[in-house]
Amino acid sequence: MASNHRPTLQVRQPYDGELISELETMNWADADRMLDRAARAHKNASGRLPAHRRVEILRKLAALLRDRIETFAVLIAREGGKPIRDARIEAERAVTGIELAADHISHIQGREIPMDLSRAGEGRLAFTRREPIGPVVAISAFNHPLNLIVHQVVPAIAVGCPVIVKPAETTPLCCKRFVELVHEAGLPEELCQMCLCDNATAEQLVTDARVSLFSFIGSARIGWYLRSRLAPGTRCVLEHGGVAPAIICHDANMESTVRSLVKGGYYHAGQVCVSVQRIFVDNRIKSEFLDLYAARTAQLVAGNPIEEETDVGPLILPREVERVSSWVEESISDGARVVTGGEKVNDRVYAPTILLDPPVNALVSTQEIFGPVTCIYGFDHEEQAVLQSNALPVAFQSAVFTRDLDRALGLSSQLEASAVMINDHTAFRTDWMPFAGLGVSGLGVGGMSHTMEEMTHEKMTVIHSQTPHSILPQMERF
């Protein structure tokens, strides 16, 4: 315990359990003070940072982070278990995200509303502006401990919303150091605060009436529950997960398809909300595909994320290894065949696994596994693959592999998904594209510019001229 007797949280490496750091946690009194500071900052409209200052701060923040990419990459690997090569890419993406937000500030703008479309509107000029919605509370996930924080915090800074962020308990260090960089870049502390607290305090924080927007990345069960508890008027953006399908047509380029799917299925040990999980393969090429896919998957190196040669790191907690193992064992007992993997490397690492023809109602076929497991199913007709792809209440990103453009477009139109990747894996993402779950998988739209729009509201001003022969109607038509 710390000297003031606050509870502490131990942050440990997922790979070996080594203690990295110990942080004090906060209680409701702390969270309440944070909310009060955020609410007062928002209400002080005359004291809000002008756009040019927000641009300056974000540009400086990007530069500060760019100088520390390797430091953050090592921290991502240590506290999150992501292989160091992928961790560097995450840190680089975070810099890009900040730069995108700074660039997009000039595009947050209103519009003119024509008023002389009816006699009642004559003599009036109307226009809108985008204004910050108010205090934002963000709850983040462990799997991208820097870049997810950037996607939730930086849009709020960009549009002028005070933000309070709660990182995942397993990966708070990236968030802590990032918030420190935000302050170093010049943002007043009350405009960006980190709240490391227990779940009860987090729920109290999220559901407080002073919160204008709640941003959540995590499980559907928790996200939809918290949405049901929000105060009236609180806007909500949820990003959950899926059981991402990929359809492999008979004319697909085999080598590039296999390479893409191995990356999309086993990146970060499958701990990605759009990770490839269900692969539907035309039976005419199923055997050839399976041989190549298994051979490439078997080459993946699972182990210590700090080591350069590692492709697949640990799962975030030992209990997740046990869960994945139990799901795989259930599918095997019900008829699935293990092509490769299917076992623990140790208590913290699960071997990259391919399951052939698991039952369609098995957990590995219906639930997001969030582990290094992909499932292969054959089909005779593309309609069968589409029906199975669309059979679940979750829908996020899907993929189609084919050389035929007409076939690609036809399948894309039939798949229930917010995005369909053609000849690319389901986990593909750039930080400026719209990113959204459908159905149970989410609410609202992510992506830097889209989140910035979510965090503003459109305010209209209508000017009624009191002067005869006013120029206002002519101004409108001009």
Out of 395, 422, 449, a domain closes at 422
pTM for the predicted model, two decimal places:
0.94
Q: Tell whether 182 and 218 lie within a shared domain.
A: yes
Predicted pLDDT at 467: 73
Please tell me the number of Cα atoms within 13 Å of 465 on its side-chain side: 18
Task: Say which residues have a Cβ less than 8 Å from residue 338's Cβ, sequence separation at least 6.
Answer: 328, 332, 353, 354, 355, 356
Is 472 within the bounds of a domain?
Answer: no
Q: What is the pLDDT along the chain (478 residues), one digit of tens a residue?
A: 344 578 999 999 999 999 999 999 999 999 999 999 999 999 998 889 999 999 999 999 999 999 999 999 999 999 999 999 999 999 999 999 999 999 999 999 999 999 999 999 999 999 999 999 999 999 999 999 999 999 999 999 999 999 999 999 999 999 999 999 999 999 999 999 999 999 999 999 999 999 999 999 999 999 999 999 999 999 999 999 999 999 999 999 999 999 999 999 999 999 999 999 999 999 999 999 999 999 999 999 999 999 999 999 999 999 999 999 999 999 999 999 999 999 999 999 999 999 999 999 999 999 999 999 999 999 999 999 999 999 999 999 999 999 999 999 999 999 999 999 999 999 999 999 999 999 999 999 999 999 999 999 999 999 998 875 555 555 444 4
Active site residues: 239, 273
Name which of 266, 277, 264 is nearest 423 in CA terms.
264
Cα–Cα distance between 46 and 48 in angstroms, integer? 6
User: Is 324 part of a structural domain of the chain?
Assistant: yes
Does the residue 65 lie in any domain? yes
**257 and 175 in a common domain:** no
* DSSP 3-state of 303: coil
pLDDT of residue 5: 75
Whether 259 and 171 map to the same domain: the answer is no
> Which DSSP letter does residue 339 get?
E
Contact 175, 194 (CB under 8 A): yes
Residue 2 is assigned to a structural domain of this protein:
no
Which secondary structure element, helix H or strand E, spans residue 431, and what is its range? none
Same domain, residue pair 214 and 250? no
- Domain assignment present for 416: yes
pLDDT value of residue 278: 99
Q: Do 426 and 433 touch, CB atoms closer than 8 A?
A: no
Structural domain range at position 107: 8-240+441-460
